[in-house]
Amino acid sequence: MRAFLLYARSRQVPASVAAAALCCLLVRLLPDDPRFPALAITAAVSALAVGLTGQDADLDRTAARPWPAYRLAHVLAIATVTALLVAGMAPVEFVVRGCVGMTGLAALAAALFGGHMAWTLPCAWFAISVFTESWLVAPTGSLPAMWFAIGFGAAGAAVQVFFQSTLKL
């Protein structure tokens, strides 16, 4: 239990959860619009994803801890916490699809650019989705949208778990 608490504290998890909860609360106060649940998902994932990488990449590379297991648990926790925060704002399928896809994009961004830039791909995708019809704002029941989200989620988790320490740009 102590190792988990140290990991969470070193990755700014308490502050990230508070920021994500505040973002979701503020979005809930906005009037109804079909894009607002996607905004809440994007904001929560962006806030939670900053801790996907540590402060010192060399320390992470040489640590005796099983980092792939921690990284996978962190990615899954981001999707789960986001889904819990956004629950009730949209249908369950929409929330799950958005959480999986946006978490995958955040994990990809963290692996490519570092944890402090993990927000870039989810925010860019949301900005594109506001003006075009993409998987993020597609209606529930859209099979291509679900497959895109699953693809982004699986790719992001795989890159974060297996290749995170070698992909820095």
In the predicted structure, residue 167 carries a pLDDT above the cut 60: no
What is the residue extent of each domain of the chain? 2-166
In the predicted structure, residue 16 carries a pLDDT above the cut 70: yes
The mean predicted confidence, pLDDT, of the chain is 85
> Is the pTM higher than 0.75?
yes
Neighbours of 98 (CB within 10 A): 31
pLDDT at res. 83: 95
In the predicted structure, residue 125 carries a pLDDT above the cut 90: yes
Give me the DSSP letters along 112-128.
HH-GGGTTHHHHHHHHH
Mean pLDDT of 11-25: 85
The residue to which tokens 């540590």 are assigned: 54
Q: Which amino acid is at 8?
A: A
Alpha carbon distance 100, 45 (integer Å): 10
In the predicted structure, residue 105 carries a pLDDT above the cut 60: yes
